[in-house]
């Protein structure tokens, strides 16, 4: 199969592109190599993908000439590209253009792809709001520009499914961790600062936040399992993550356990829009995709620490 993965040199996109290539597919990875975070990491990911045989296309989805840069016989699209996370340095315009306008351009391209079997939108638990513990039919209550624009992007994709113009589904991911995680994310920062003996900035009260910290390989298991299940998941929204909850404090303790050293903390003011609890309800994913994440938090952290040491020390 010929598969397009957007955001392919990012964290989860790169793992998915790599897995799909390993499964024998012809993978085209699209990315605009934004400097929102370390280009060094993005080029490291791109190198790993190129060595696997993935074709990398440096292209911004907001460009008007998207169809001129991509083939018209794509079988699957996995849409990871987005303005990520809840960041005080990102404007609403950043979220709007990267999450809504970019997705609209990709949908327009996808409609013209004659072989398209499925457009897989990658959503987020932030769509649910400050607490994300619900099944997929719960009314969205996003509490951040990120959540609002990711919901809009999801609906742009699913609109085409409802109109019978394009087969599509959306996967809402929960608190993914592991190798290649973005540098500003909790575990990446904990590991980097811990190994350097530097202080970790902890948002006030966030040590009590509950998260479905899910290892990236477990997420990718669910993402790639949509292939062959198109009729079951057409038009569906599906949560992917672990049902096991951990507090941020337990996450910090897991990193300390793997590193074998304490981490110094500095409490800073709360971050607006941050979720207080995420717990993936994956009953639907189990039923439709036979989804069953298994990796423990400590094992996930161990894998991430080993990757960081191999690439940055």
pLDDT digits over 144-163, tens only? 999 999 999 999 999 999 99
Residue 158 sits in the same domain as residue 93: yes
**Is-contact 172 136, C-beta < 8 A?**
yes
In this prediction, residue 274 carries a pLDDT of: 80
Residue 145 sits in the same domain as residue 265: no
| pLDDT tens readout for residues 223-244 | 999 999 999 999 999 999 999 9
In this prediction, residue 313 carries a pLDDT of: 86
pLDDT at 273 over 80: no
**For residue 191, is it within any domain?**
yes
**For residue 287, is it within any domain?**
no
What amino acid positions are annotated as catalytic residues?
146
Whole-angstrom distance, CA of residue 158 vs CA of residue 144: 21
In this prediction, residue 40 carries a pLDDT of: 96
Residue 77 sits in the same domain as residue 115: yes
Give the confidence band of 272 by pLDDT, cuts at 50, 70, 90.
confident
Give the confidence band of 213 by pLDDT, cuts at 50, 70, 90.
very high
Which residue carries 């794509």 as its tokens?
A: 74
Give the confidence band of 302 by pLDDT, cuts at 50, 70, 90.
very high
Non-local (6+) Cβ contacts of 257 within 8 A are 298, 301
pLDDT at 45 over 80: yes
Mean pLDDT calculated for residue range 272-279: 85
Residue 24 sits in the same domain as residue 59: yes
In this prediction, residue 88 carries a pLDDT of: 73
Read off the CATH number of the domain in which 257 is found: 3.90.25.10
pLDDT at 87 over 80: no
**For residue 286, is it within any domain?**
no
- Neighbour tally for 155: CB within 10 Å: 16
Residue 82 sits in the same domain as residue 109: yes
**For residue 272, is it within any domain?**
yes
* Domain enclosing residue 252, as ranges: 186-211+244-280+295-312
Residue 42 sits in the same domain as residue 190: no
User: How many distinct structural domains can be found in the chain?
Assistant: 2
């Amino acid at each position: 199969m010929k598969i397009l993965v957007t955001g392919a040199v990012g964290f989860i996109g790169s793992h998915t592109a790599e897995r799909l290539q390993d499964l024998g597919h012809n993978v085209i990875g699209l990315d605009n190599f934004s400097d929102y975070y370390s280009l060094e990491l993005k080029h490291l990911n791109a190198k790993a993908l190129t060595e696997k045989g993935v074709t990398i296309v440096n292209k911004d989805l907001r460009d008007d000439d998207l169809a001129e840069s991509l083939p018209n016989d794509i079988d699957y699209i996995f849409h990871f590209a987005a303005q990520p996370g809840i960041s005080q340095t990102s404007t609403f315009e950043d979220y709007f253009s990267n999450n809504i306008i970019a997705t609209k351009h990709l949908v327009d391209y996808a409609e013209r792809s004659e072989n398209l079997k499925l457009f897989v939108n990658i959503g987020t638990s932030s769509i649910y709001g400050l607490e994300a513990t619900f099944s997929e039919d719960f009314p969205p209550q996003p509490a951040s520009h990120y959540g609002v624009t990711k919901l809009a992007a999801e609906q742009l994709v699913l609109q085409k499914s409802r109109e019978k113009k394009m087969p599509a589904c959306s996967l809402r991911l929960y608190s993914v961790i592991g190798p290649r995680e973005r540098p500003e994310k909790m575990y990446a920062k904990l590991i980097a600062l811990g190994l350097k003996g530097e202080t970790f900035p902890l948002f006030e009260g966030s040590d009590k936040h509950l998260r479905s910290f899910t290892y990236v390989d477990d997420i990718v298991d669910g993402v790639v399992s949509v292939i062959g299940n198109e009729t079951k998941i057409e038009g569906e929204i599906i949560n992917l993550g672990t049902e096991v909850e951990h507090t941020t404090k337990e996450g910090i303790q897991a990193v300390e356990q793997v590193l074998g050293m304490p981490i110094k903390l500095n409490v800073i003011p709360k971050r607006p829009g941050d979720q207080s609890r995420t717990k993936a309800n994956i009953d639907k994913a189990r039923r439709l995709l036979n989804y069953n994440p298994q990796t423990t938090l400590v094992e996930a952290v161990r894998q991430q620490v080993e990757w960081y040491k191999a690439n940055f020390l």
